[in-house]
Amino acid sequence: MSSNSEIAAWKVDQLTKSEFFHRKLHEWGLLETAYELEGIKGEDLNWKMDLNITTTAWDKVIHRGIKPIRVFAHPQVLIENPKRVSYYRMLSMVSQKSMSNVGLSVNSCEMNGSRLDRSAALNLSLLLNKIICMLIENDNVIDEREFDLWRAMTAGSQAQGSWQNSKGAAAEDIIKGIIERKLKETAQIQREGLEGRSKISHLKDGRIIKMGSEPDVAFYRSDKIEIALEIKGGIDTAGALERFGAALKSLRRAKQENPDAITILLIHEASITATANGEIEGSSDIDHLFTIGDMISSDEKRSQLFRILKI
């Protein structure tokens, strides 16, 4: 039977993973792209050109009253907005990696909107339509809602791959996202920009927020650090002391720069268990301690953090 600490750690992991998947949904613009395509007058496009659309698949779609543009890729549609490639790729249930394996990498156009020439757009349309038609022909009856499920299955698989590759950074991204959403909801941001790899937000109260590393989040006023926040979301107990040491070093530097600076540590519950011998509780360099689970599941704890951050 699982212990209370194991169950608590599991809950945090699942909450973190669910939030990660949810962010990917919006980061990839899946809903926006779908609505965008629904608004296009597909009847103005030339569907008579060779696009690898079989008569059987076309007739099944048309007879169900489904707009062809919702199902079949057209090169002109991809040229106008290369990010639309992800819609048809996910509809064909093909991964980005498998596309790259056959020399048709789509990462750049899907993520950055890198332009496609007519030849590349046509080749992608031909490949994706061939697979989509095969899937349609394998169904006796086509249900329009099934297309959403096809895309959802691919998106879930893709998000799982991203999750496996970025578990360590996922918690940090989620916490930063929580802070950014609060700032935007309360209209506190005056302007934003980049400084190297750090994201910079100028607040209306005169403070500047840097979201980068060491510390992960820092509030400055007149070039003087006022608040330093370190986020350590790793769950392996073997590296808990190492993660704590790195966080402590960063927060200590903030205290050295400004003895009045407020320091905050957000850490995974598993790491607290592994360092329960007093390192965290006994450190004068840490003013406030929160867990990743606190921020994800507790409105009260999030509000407490926001009050400390004065946002």
268 closest CA partner among 298, 234, 245: 234
pLDDT digits (tens, 9 = 90+) for 191-212: 999 887 789 999 999 999 999 8
Percent of the chain past pLDDT 70, that is, above it, reads 88
pLDDT digits (tens, 9 = 90+) for 226-245: 999 998 876 555 556 777 77
pLDDT digits (tens, 9 = 90+) for 34-88: 899 988 888 889 999 999 999 999 999 999 999 999 999 999 999 999 999 999 9
CA-CA distance, 183 to 193, in Å (whole number)?
Answer: 15
pLDDT band at 101 (very low <50, low <70, confident <90, very high): confident
| Contact (CB, 8 A) for 87 and 125 | no
Whether this prediction's pTM lies above 0.85 is answered by no
The yes-or-no verdict on residue 1 having pLDDT over 70 is no
What mean pLDDT comes out for the span 85-109? 89
CA-CA distance, 215 to 193, in Å (whole number)?
Answer: 18
Q: What is the mean pLDDT of the chain?
A: 86
